Amino acid sequence: MKKKVLVYLASNFLLTSSLFSQALKTDSILDLDEVVVTGTRSEKLLREIPARIDVVSPKILKQAPAQSIDDILAMFSGVNTTRSSGVSTMHTNVSIRGLAGDEQGRTLVLYDGVPINSSDGGSVNWNSIHIDNVERIEIFKGPGSSLYGNNAMGGVINIISKKATKPLNINASSSYGTYNTWLTNLSVSSRVSDKVSLFVSGYYNQSDGYNLVPDSLRPDPDYTIPRFMKEGGANLLTQFSLSQQANIDIAYELFLDKRGEGEKIEAPDGEYRHFNHNRVRGRFYGEYKKLRYDFSLYFQRVNYFKLDERIKKGKYQRFDVKSDRDDWGGILNFNYNVSSTNDLTYGLELRNGAVEGGDYYVTSPDVVYNRGKMRIFSIYAQDEQTILDDKLKLQVAVRYDNARFHDGFYEAKGDLVADFNSHNGALKSNTWNNFSPRVALRYTPEKWGSFYASFSKGFRASILDDLCRSGWMWVGPKIANPDLKPETLYNYEVGATFTPLYNLSIAPTFYYAQGHDFLYYVATGEKLWGRQDIYQRQNVSRVNVKGIEMDIRYTPIRGLDVVANYSFNDAQIDKFPDKPELDGKTLTYAPKHQVKGSLNWTGGIVDAYIRGAYKGKQFTTDNNAEQIDAYTVWDARISKWFNQRYYVGFEVLNIFDNRHMNTKDYISSGRIFQVKLAISLSK
């Protein structure tokens, strides 16, 4: 019933806006000629690419009521996020097209073109990407493995950072809101000369947080405290434009945080975690005649720490989890303009991932240690042809990936972890190969519309956590499986973009995908303490995914943007030989229905942005026995720039204080108020 009401309101709103526009002179033109890079690894007009790509523009980043990047991504069709406790959330997943919202590894995330998914867990620390440092975001939907390889099974999200555009620009902001939340930021950028530019920023945020575990789910209310947050970071980007043939970018990012777990027994701050990041990127690029080249190197280290304390059988126990997670590699990409109707893209990529960590008990001498490495070497090529007087675009691509898991080792020492001693020692190495093809067409008969169709294959390699770590997971005790193969997905897709009016865009998309060798926990037959099943991740299931996306964008008058979208996604387990009772069950955290919309008004007495989102029910267990109920959330922001220098903004998130469950364990933060002041000086 709620879904029907939302659709009815959206339809009436669009009709009202249409009638309103007929009474006014419309002098704004909807720009569909945006330039994007994610679909081809080179600059192309959005209308030319045979795929569905959404763009988060600087205007949206500036105006939308949001506290994080994933808050903004959540408003796009086919995208699902799991941020559970606002800025205090320590781990958020962003998934595309129903491929399990609790599996970040099935969606590839790039930062200025280089991957930032962790090889250890496939995760991305969305907290480490500060919203004020981002210029724009491109969302490529559907498998992108033909160009980008691992993790690009459901899609690719490319985050593009801000760069210096003026001789000098200084921006400073500070905001205060609910739960004693402070957010501050300072950035300075400069085009020092025609050849050198610099962008530097720093920020610090903190929040007292709230008790996000409902009373009924708290194991011991006496030990429950709010989940606090403290974080800070710094960014540096230096660019050298030596000539048309030689340009160099060097970037460094630091992120430090401390986030409470919401439980305190004896430790001064209770349980907490930190995910400290260091990221370094270097890029050399240029153009010579018809050849464009781009060589990138990157390194990412995450120093992970968790303080875990508990009362077990009346005794206090504490252990610290310490883990160093490294990812590094290089990408060499070429784009050759063969002719006015033919572009060729090709390149090489090397990715490496490593983890070394363990559980170190403080109240006993027990230690659990694990390590492992993953290396993926890749080669790819893509040919783009323009046919029939620029009306038909043909794209053919293929990528070969060779992956190797090696140097795996596991050891459990001590009485408390003695049940895992039988798994101690070196782990066997494993190598596998994968081919990822893509064939796509876009036909544009007239300016009023275009159509595309594509076939593509995507894959996701297993994470190091599954390959080399034994221990406790949410399912219970589990053991490592170094023999895991990649998950694969075959996707068939058709879509169109219609512009019946120059200020109206309608974009439907239909897709069907079949996934093979999906990973699930399977009981090994072994028992812990003679009674509890021991599990292991295995490639055991086939998955079917079918869906529809409908995007509408309308600009009735200058300054007013109306956006609405609807997503239907049916992601089900098709065949699970080891657990036939799961056949036909829906993947976890994959809502079938989502409706989202927004109004953005700029140029008046104040700027105003209001958005709403309906998310259907989500199952939280593989057997669909437990679920999160459907919910609707509305957010709004009003703001004003004075003389383009001074800014005042006020926003309300979750206007109607809907304390819904975001995950099976955590309740949302409810209504949040925030006031923001900013200053921008430039010359």
Alpha carbon distance 248, 234 (integer Å): 20
Beta strands (DSSP E) in 461-531 are: 471-473, 476-479, 487-501, 504-528
In the predicted model, what is the mean pLDDT of residues 154-165?
A: 96
Among 15-29, 568-582, 661-675, name the most confident range.
Answer: 568-582
pLDDT tens by residue, 89-126: 888 899 999 887 778 999 999 999 999 999 999 999 99
Name the residue with higher pLDDT: 291 or 88.
291
pLDDT average, residue stretch 133-159: 96
Return the percent helix, strand and coil in the chain, to nearest 5. 10, 60, 30
Q: Report the share of the chain in percent with pLDDT over 70.
A: 94
Residues in the chain: 683
* 18 has a pLDDT exceeding 80: no
- CA–CA dist 471, 646 (Å, integer): 53
CA distance 639 to 147: 40
Contacts of 4 (CB under 8 A, 6+ apart): none
Percentage of the chain modeled with pLDDT above 90: 78
Q: pTM higher than 0.85, yes or no?
A: yes
pLDDT given for residue 218 in this prediction:
65
Q: 26-40, 342-356, 409-423 — which one is most confidently predicted on average?
A: 342-356
pLDDT in tens, 255-293: 999 999 889 999 999 999 999 999 999 999 999 999 999
pLDDT at 90: 80
- Position 11 scores a pLDDT of 43
Q: List the one residue out of 185, 160, 156, 183 whose CA is nearest residue 170.
A: 185
pLDDT at 61 over 50: yes
Residue 32: the pLDDT is: 59
Q: What is the dihedral of CA 307, 111, 406, 525, to 10 degrees?
A: 60
Return the C-alpha torsion angle 138, 142, 146, 149, nearest 10: 80
Q: What pLDDT shows up at residue 527?
A: 83
343-370 per-position pLDDT tens digit: 999 999 999 999 999 999 999 999 999 9
Rounded to whole angstroms, the Cα distance separating 139 from 38 reads 8
Predicted confidence (pLDDT) at residue 234 exceeds the cutoff of 80: yes
C-alpha closest to that of 295 among 261, 263, 247: 247
Q: What is the pLDDT of residue 13?
A: 37
SS3 assignment, position 194 = coil
Instruction: Count CB-CB contacts under 10 A for residue 608.
Output: 17
Q: What is the pLDDT of residue 660?
A: 87
If you average pLDDT over every residue of the chain, what do you get?
A: 91
Q: Which SS3 state, helix, strand or coil, does residue 398 take?
A: strand
Other residues' Cβ atoms within 10 Å of the Cβ of residue 16:
11
Domain residues of the chain, as ranges? 2-682
Q: How far apart are CA 244 and CA 293, in angstroms?
A: 11
pLDDT for 8: 39
Which amino acid appears at position 461 of this protein?
A
Closest CA to 547 of 513, 497, 581: 513
Tell me, what's the pLDDT at 173?
Answer: 96
For the cut 70, the answer to whether the pLDDT of residue 17 exceeds it is: no
- Sort 428 into a burial class: Cβ within 10 Å, 0-12 / 13-18 / 19+: exposed
Residue 20: the pLDDT is 36
3-state secondary structure (DSSP) of residue 570: strand
Sign of the CA dihedral running 129, 132, 134, 137: positive
Fold of 2-682: Maltoporin; Chain A (2.40.170)
Closest CA to 666 of 213, 263, 217, 179: 213
Is the confidence at residue 31, as pLDDT, over 70? no
- Confidence category of residue 214, pLDDT binned at 50, 70, 90: confident
Q: In which band, very low, low, confident or very high, does the pLDDT at 519 lie, cut at 50, 70 and 90?
A: very high
> Across residues 609-629, what is the average pLDDT?
94
**Pairwise CA distance, residues 159 & 56, whole Å:** 9
- The DSSP element (H or E) to which 468 belongs, if any, is helix 464-468
Q: Give the C-alpha separation, 477 to 521, whole Å.
A: 10
